[in-house]
């Protein structure tokens, strides 16, 4: 499972990449793999604000609909419009072309509470081990 070292991660498998006052977010490689073929992403509206932990997207895979939670609070500046016609980009390139949103970061300190790439790697290793039992 790939982990992008530039990103921070939530326990619910969203990643966030901070770029100045703004940040980009999506779901991790582990998440897309667990969900399998993604067929639709219900995106928020530009201008919507979400607190950390609020549902900002719903990811529809072949078998189920799964909520995505805001890794840190902020206001939506852009959504990935490519996903409307090509939701499979989330499967193919979860940290790149499969990004979900760009948003204005409300409180940069929230970022520090998220897992680093190394922490997240250990976290999913643990989940995979638990899954085998």
Partner 1 sequence: MATRTLLYDRHVALGGRMVEFAGWMLPVQYPPGPNAEHQQVRQAAGLFDIDHMGQVVVSGPDALTFLNRVMTADVSRFGIGTAHYSLMCYADGGVVDDTFIYRLDANRYFVAVNASNNAKDTHWLNYHRQAQERVVIENVSESTYMLSLQGPRAQDILAPLVDAALDRLKFHRAVETWLLTSPRVRVLIGRTGYTGEDGFELFFPTENAGLVWDTLMEAGRPFDLAPIGLAARDSLRFEPCMPLYGQEISATIDPLQAGLGFGCALDKEHFIGRDALLKVQLEGPHRQLVGFEMLQGGVARHGYPIVIDGAVQGEVTSGMYSPTLDKMLGLAYIPSQYAAIAEEIGVQIRDSVKPARTIAKPFYQPSYRKSIAQRSRHAELPK
Residue ranges in contact with partner 1 by CB under 8 A? 36-37, 39-40, 42, 58, 60, 62-63, 65, 84, 88, 91
Tokens coding 15: 């990643």
Please list, in sequence order, all residues whose beta carbon lies within 8 angstroms of the beta carbon of residue 113, skipping any fewer than 6 positions away.
none
**Dihedral (CA of 126, 90, 97, 48) sign:** negative
* Residue 116 C-beta: closest distance to partner 1, Å: 29
C-beta of 54 vs 84, nearer to partner 1: 84
C-beta of 33 vs 113, nearer to partner 1: 33
Q: DSSP labels for 113-127?
A: TSBPHHHHHHHHHHH
C-beta of 8 vs 13, nearer to partner 1: 13
* Residue 42 C-beta: closest distance to partner 1, Å: 7
- Least Cα distance to 3 among 125, 129, 102 occurs for 125
Integer Rg of the chain from CA: 14
C-beta of 10 vs 61, nearer to partner 1: 61
* Residue 41 C-beta: closest distance to partner 1, Å: 9
* Residue 75 C-beta: closest distance to partner 1, Å: 21
């Amino acid at each position: 499972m790939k982990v992008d070292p530039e990103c921070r991660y939530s326990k619910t498998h969203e990643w966030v990449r901070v770029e100045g006052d703004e940040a980009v977010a999506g779901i991790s490689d582990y998440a897309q793999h667990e969900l399998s073929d993604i067929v639709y992403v219900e995106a928020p509206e530009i201008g919507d604000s979400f607190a950390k932990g609020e549902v900002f997207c719903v990811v529809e895979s072949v078998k189920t609909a799964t909520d995505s939670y805001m890794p840190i609070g902020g206001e939506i500046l852009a959504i990935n419009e490519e996903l409307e016609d090509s939701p499979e980009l989330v499967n193919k390139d979860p940290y790149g072309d499969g990004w979900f949103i760009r948003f204005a970061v409300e409180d940069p300190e929230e970022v520090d509470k998220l897992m680093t790439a190394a922490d997240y790697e250990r976290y999913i290793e643990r989940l995979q081990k638990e899954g085998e039992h």
